């Protein structure tokens, strides 16, 4: 039996970074990954990087007046180039970890006990390894809804498999109105697909500030993206050349046909095959691995990082989880409670970025607030980029002048939101941002007008 000081399960952002760090310290370390196509983790291979590559090229495609056949050809070229790019990134990640001295083990891991893991290789061989410390970083997986006709349907995709689709669908239906679904709706609409989103919720992006959500919905409507609310998908029938989606809305049964159907009904922690019960590891009520503020499970030599814990599923949270565990191992004070405000971006067109509270949340918590708003059409840089769409909104505490929340539905908001997050973490008076000197013409200078009294 091979023995290690540290074993990491999963080649995601936290796992690969921690493995290299521990190995460079001189500690014998192994990293287990069940698929050679996932070196580097979900973000690099099937999520953030390939999807944003697609998003960028979709925006470029939207600016050119082509017929569907020409856009389909361009789409196919983008997908082929994406695959080459991702393959190169995957190899780079593998070599970087390998060169740091980590033993990379291909196989599916499961717990025998709190120190022993069983590793099953692709050919069915079983090996057991011992570890003083174990770190779980197995990410999340797509929720497959209980809809008749979903299984083995050649026209049904998840966000992972959709990224491999080489032909542009003319009619594209998305089941689920969450962030992943809306991103794909935006990408494929820009490429030229006719897109319909079917969601069970009666409100569009119900977790967002209501005014911002309405602006996003209006933009989607203007682009021709159809949103069907309060609808329950009953079945997806596979036909010879397409699929028929049957759904119920307002008590009526409706049908729509599509060349491709995306299941975007959420993601859950990927722990089913780990057999964590053999190690005595506890789960949360939502199915994630239960951890404390230092990301330690209830078993003292086992930690969990990233999406497998549940909660916000972002690669930068996974990276920060590495920092927390590194700090813990070194006797530091970093925890999940002192990482500051967490921003996020939904990469639709234009992108929607947020940090902190919505106007509704601030009011419900009893804050005395003032609200600043600016339409994107008033920002010179937005016109230069031919993206004068959307609006920006910031909520400020009148009593302290601190920013409580920012909602930026505008071009390049994915960059601008980080500046606002920093100001919030430092408890900076909003007037510092309002009166700062920014280069011109830029999107960051929009803060001068947005926060003007």
Ramachandran class of 223: left when φ > 0, alpha when ψ lies in -120 to 50, beta otherwise: alpha
- Structure-block tokens of residue 93: 């990640």
Query: Can you tell me the distance from the alpha carbon of 232 to that of 241, in angstroms, rounded to the nearest whole number?
Result: 24
Sequence-separated (6 or more) residues with CB below 8 Å from residue 75: 61, 167, 168, 191
| CA 128 vs CA 15, 29, 108, 131: distances in Å | 20, 15, 11, 10
Any idea what DSSP says for residue 79? H
**Residue 440 a catalytic site member:** yes
In this structure, are residues 209 and 359 in contact, taking their beta carbons and an 8 Å threshold?
A: yes
CA dihedral 200, 205, 211, 217 (to 10 degrees): -80
* H helix intervals, 64-178: 68-99, 159-162
Sign of the C-alpha dihedral computed for residues 412, 417, 422 and 427 taken in this order: positive
In this structure, are residues 401 and 434 in contact, taking their beta carbons and an 8 Å threshold?
A: no
Of 174, 176, 175, 216, give the one whose Cα is nearest residue 193.
174
With both helix axes pointing from N to C terminus, report the angle between 179-191 and 210-223 in degrees, rounded to the nearest 10: 30
Active-site choice (206, 294, 407, 440): 440
Query: Can you tell me the distance from the alpha carbon of 372 to that of 408, in angstroms, rounded to the nearest whole number?
Result: 11
With both helix axes pointing from N to C terminus, report the angle between 315-329 and 13-24 in degrees, rounded to the nearest 10: 30
Active site residues: 440
């Amino acid at each position: 039996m091979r023995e290690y000081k540290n074993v990491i399960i999963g080649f995601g952002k936290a796992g690969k970074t921690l493995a290299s760090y521990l190995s460079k310290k001189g500690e014998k370390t192994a990293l287990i990954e069940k698929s050679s196509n996932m070196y580097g983790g979900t973000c690099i291979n099937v999520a953030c990087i390939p999807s944003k590559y697609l998003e960028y090229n979709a925006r470029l495609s939207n600016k050119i007046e082509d017929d569907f056949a020409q856009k389909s050809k361009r789409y196919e070229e983008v997908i082929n180039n994406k695959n080459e790019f991702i393959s190169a990134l995957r190899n780079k990640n593998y070599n970087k970890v390998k060169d740091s001295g980590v033993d990379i083990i291909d196989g599916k891991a499961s717990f025998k006990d709190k120190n022993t893991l069983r590793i099953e290789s692709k050919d069915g061989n079983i090996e057991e390894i011992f570890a003083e410390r174990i770190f779980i970083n197995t990410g999340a997986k797509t929720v497959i809804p209980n809809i008749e006709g979903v299984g083995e349907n050649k026209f049904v995709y998840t966000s992972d498999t959709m990224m491999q689709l080489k032909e542009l669908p003319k009619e594209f239906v998305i089941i689920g109105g969450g962030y992943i679904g809306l991103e794909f709706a935006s990408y494929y609409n820009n490429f030229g697909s006719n897109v319909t989103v079917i969601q069970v919720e009666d409100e569009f992006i119900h977790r967002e500030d209501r005014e911002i959500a309405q602006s996003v919905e209006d933009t989607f409507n203007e682009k021709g993206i159809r949103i069907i609310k309060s609808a329950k998908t009953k079945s997806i029938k596979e036909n010879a050349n397409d699929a028929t989606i049957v759904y119920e809305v307002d008590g009526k049964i409706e049908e729509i046909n599509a060349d491709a159907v995306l299941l975007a009904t959420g993601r859950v922690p990927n722990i089913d095959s780990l057999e964590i019960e053999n190690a005595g590891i506890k789960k949360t009520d939502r199915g994630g691995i239960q951890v404390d503020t230092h990301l330690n499970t209830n078993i003292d030599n086992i930690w969990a990082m990233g999406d497998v814990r549940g909660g916000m599923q972002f690669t930068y949270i996974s990276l920060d989880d590495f920092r927390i565990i590194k700090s813990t191992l070194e006797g530091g004070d970093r925890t999940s409670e002192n990482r500051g405000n967490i921003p996020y971006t939904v990469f639709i067109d234009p992108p929607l970025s947020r940090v902190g509270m919505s106007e509704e949340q601030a009011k419900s918590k009893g804050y005395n607030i003032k609200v600043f708003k600016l339409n994107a059409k008033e920002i010179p840089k937005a016109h230069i980029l031919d993206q004068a769409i959307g609006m920006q909104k910031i909520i400020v505490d009148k009593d302290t002048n601190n920013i409580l929340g920012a909602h930026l539905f505008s071009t390049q908001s994915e960059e601008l939101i980080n500046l606002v997050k920093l100001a919030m973490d430092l408890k900076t008076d909003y007037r510092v941002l309002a009166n700062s000197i920014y280069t011109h013409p830029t999107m960051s200078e929009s803060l001068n007008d947005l926060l003007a009294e």
